[in-house]
Amino acid sequence: MAAPAIGLDFGTTNSAIARVAGDGRSELASFRSDEGPTQTFRSVLYFEEDEDDGLLRVHAGPHAITRYLASEEKKGRLVQSLKSFLASRLFSATNVLGTTYRLEDLIAELLRPLREQAEEVFGAPIDRIVAGRPVHFVGAEEPEDEQLALRRLTAALHNAGFREVAFEYEPVGAAYHYEQGLEKDELILIADFGGGTSDFSLLRVGPSFASGAGRAESILGHDGVGLAGDVFDGQLVRHVVAPRLGRGAEFRSMMGKVLPVPAWIYGHLERWHHVSLLKSRKTLQLLLDLRREALEPEKLEALIEIVRGDLGFLLYRATEQTKHALSDEASSTFRFSHEGVGIAALVPRARFEEWIDEPLQKIEACVDRLLGTTGVAPERIDRVFLTGGSSFVPAVRDIFLQRFGAERVTGGAELTSVASGLALRAAER
């Protein structure tokens, strides 16, 4: 019996895995969670010390969130958005509750249980895959940074039990998913908006290419930018959350001077993959010293509670809920309340769009650059397929509605289309 073709989408926020079996269509694996089976595996890890033997326990995906939420008094450490570190030379390893982990080890701890649960669902071992990769990794400024990210990701996949790994651009995976069921050829623009990157591919799909013939010639170009949903979340944190936690506040130095609270602290708070880094002995001591000398100590006290209690995920969830609500409503109230920290603020969509205007301009420039380098005029494109969680943001969709018109813009399977298509790509290989 031939081994199934497997596609893996390791995402900044969510991951998914799919296979192609005998009927030629892709099928997604499902994972266990408290809310029932889910086709997405949350890209988070939770570390805690066992109360009985004191050993370190590692939980991944939906189970990690369950364990994190269940820990009332002594929280462990929650780590998220690991994919965003792949191109960073500043992050090679970190100490988690006394144990040192390389980045590759952390990602393997995340992907190994994903593989094992998928093997249970599919009833077959998984050791050969086509894995997705962004066009440009977050923070990659030079080709060497891209190569570093790929080496790390390859090592992590091998450590997780995937013996043979081939890579494909994530928007190309989404294109394979979109191609299913097409009755005629189309020239399409794929726009994939994840948590860390926005990626674009321009290619021809349809019956003429579904057999694999001429596939290489059908791809006209790719481009991408290392920002997406996490940056949008970060702007909500900067303008709504951080001022209530001491951003812009002042403290009195030992020399009697009134100085601003260091801004770099809130820069970490805006990046979900950096929040857990604030929970170091050195940083906590700095925050305690700042609180003692702060002109508004209650704000620093609230920040200390968030850092000490490892409440980054709860803060992320409140931010994500507000962002999602703004996709449907003209305004939404941001609410965060936990362990003595309470924040409530009305957020108009128009104001949110002002805050994310700079990243939106970079996304627009990237789309225009791809059209320019391929020499394809917007009117020649038959369809624009939007996917990824951030494709729901109205200001993101407007970029494409204005250029291509509503009749040519579509979407679907926003969190799973890449994995589905990568499995189809694996079958073609």
Span 40-56, pLDDT tens digits: 999 999 999 887 788 89
What dihedral angle (degrees, nearest 10) is formed by the CA atoms of 151, 30, 118, 201? -30
Q: Which residue has the higher pLDDT, 165 or 25?
A: 165
Question: What confidence tens digit (pLDDT) does each residue in 121-133 have?
Answer: 999 999 999 999 9
First to last CA, the chain: 17
Tokens of residue 101, six digits: 């982990």
Residues 6+ apart with CB under 8 A from 411: 385, 386, 387, 391
Q: How far apart are CA 72 and CA 70, in angstroms?
A: 6
The strand pairing partners of 28, in sequence order, are 18
In this prediction, residues 205-217 reach a mean pLDDT of 85
CATH class of residue range 5-185+413-428: alpha beta
Tokens of residue 186, six digits: 């189309």
Contact 76, 46 (CB under 8 A): yes
**Predicted pLDDT of residue 91:** 87
Task: With cut-offs at 50, 70 and 90, classify the pLDDT of residue 232.
Answer: very high
Task: With cut-offs at 50, 70 and 90, classify the pLDDT of residue 212.
Answer: confident
Residues 6+ apart with CB under 8 A from 403: 367, 378
Tell me which DSSP letter residue 237 carries.
Answer: I
Contact 116, 108 (CB under 8 A): no
**Predicted pLDDT of residue 74:** 65
> Which residue bears the tokens 């900067």?
238
Tokens of residue 96, six digits: 């988690």
Ordered DSSP codes for 66-83: HHHHH--SS--EEEE-GG
Least confident of 13-27, 221-235, 383-397: 13-27
Question: What confidence tens digit (pLDDT) does each residue in 55-81 have?
Answer: 899 999 999 999 998 886 667 888 999
Task: With cut-offs at 50, 70 and 90, classify the pLDDT of residue 181.
Answer: confident
Least confident of 9-18, 99-108, 213-222: 213-222
Contact 415, 18 (CB under 8 A): no
Question: What confidence tens digit (pLDDT) does each residue in 299-354 have?
Answer: 999 999 998 888 888 999 999 999 999 999 999 999 999 877 999 999 999 999 99
Contact 139, 152 (CB under 8 A): no
Centre a 10 Å sphere on the Cβ of residue 148 and count the other Cβ atoms it contains: 17
Residues in the chain: 429
C-alpha of 380 from chain center: 31
> Which residue bears the tokens 């609270």?
261
Ordered DSSP codes for 26-53: EEE--B--TTS-BS-EE-EEEEEE-TTT
SS3 category, 14: strand
Q: What angle do CA 35, 117, 318 make, to 5 degrees?
A: 35
Tokens of residue 426, six digits: 């694996």
pLDDT at 1 over 60: no
Using a 10 angstrom Cβ sphere, with 0-12 exposed, 13-18 middle and 19 or more buried, the burial of residue 82 is buried
Q: Edge-to-edge strand order for the sheet containing 56-60? A: 56-60, 44-49, 77-80
Start-end of CATH 3.30.420.40 domains in the chain: 5-185+413-428
**Predicted pLDDT of residue 2:** 61
